[in-house]
Amino acid sequence: MNKFAYSLFPLFLFVLQTNCSLKENKTAYVNADGGLILREKPTKNSNKILLIPNNSKISIIDSPTTPDQINNKSGNWIKAKYLNNVGYLFDAYLSFEQSAVEQKLCPNSEYVIENLKSSNLLKNKEKIKTINIENAVYSEFINSKSNNYLIAEVKNKYYTSVRKNEKIFGIYNEFNNLFISSWDDTEGDFIDSGYNLNFILNNKPNYLKFHPINKSPLCYYSVVAAYAYPKVENRFLNQKIFSRVSYPECNFENPPDNLSPENSIEIIPKKFKRESILIINFESNMISFEEFCDKEKNDEIMKLWENAKSLNIKEL
């Protein structure tokens, strides 16, 4: 699993302490290449509950107890919660730093998080529509070349979308602090379009390349500009969004015979070799992103996925 988390301010305040005050810290991250075992009792001989993947976020329930030494590492056993499981972890393999997680996703992941660029484009052409989220106002405009673009105003500062043709698409009825925009960077025969999930972080507008429906191409066969679609489904559970992407298996060395842009969707084999589940968690003090890749999708993750419900998209 690869994960990164961001604090929300001023609406939310997220402060990570050092390990001198773990009970106040409340949050830590697994820092063990092979993962960390959650046990029933504070001892290495206790029964195993499950193996928590490296870089996973855990919640600390109580202050450290029971000093111990494992693999020449000294530490304490600490009561913690991972997803819906409560048990004990050896804290020598936990990280409590403010930037505790690497900002990377699964290999070849479709997910990219970026912030909008500062802008002074206030010579408005034609305003199409406006949407408010948190302390930001997003407006959609159309320029002289009939391309749509977004400008966000946050605390009297302006930011513009980085896509050539981006529009306000819709909202999820289950969440009130984000919205979806559609974009189209298609040039010539190469189709490049998709969706962004927009939200505010640290008083700046950010977006996640997202897939509310199955539309973003993954496999490009450059000779004929053909592509195959991943399978995409989004659900929600409490304050979490689950995005499941099944990636098509692409054989670039031996492309299908008679492949062309007109028949690529029908000819490219419908085989899916890789899969990931991205969990976007909106808590009272932070927003976090966790992507579980292939073998990291354990029974607990799949159980959460099965219990989640389809997101209700309302087009604007």
Task: Please name the CATH architecture into which domain 17-95 falls.
Answer: Roll (2.30)
CA distance 29 to 34: 14
Q: pLDDT tens-digit profile of 48-62?
A: 888 887 777 888 988
Q: pLDDT tens-digit profile of 177-186?
A: 889 999 887 7
CA distance 248 to 229: 7
Q: Are 93 and 137 in contact (CB under 8 A)?
A: no
24: three-class secondary structure by DSSP: helix
- Average pLDDT, integer, range 225-246: 81
124: three-class secondary structure by DSSP: coil
Q: What are the extents of the domains in the chain?
A: 17-95, 113-315
CA distance 142 to 212: 24
Tell me the pLDDT band of 100, cut-offs 50, 70 and 90.
very low
CA distances from 113 to 3, 75, 109, 176 (A): 12, 35, 11, 19
CA distance 38 to 34: 13
Nearest CA to 286 out of 239, 233, 223 is that of 239
More confident residue, 46 or 135: 46
The confidence score (pLDDT) of residue 236 equals 93
Which amino acid, residue 11?
Answer: L
The confidence score (pLDDT) of residue 13 equals 26
Tell me the pLDDT band of 289, cut-offs 50, 70 and 90.
confident
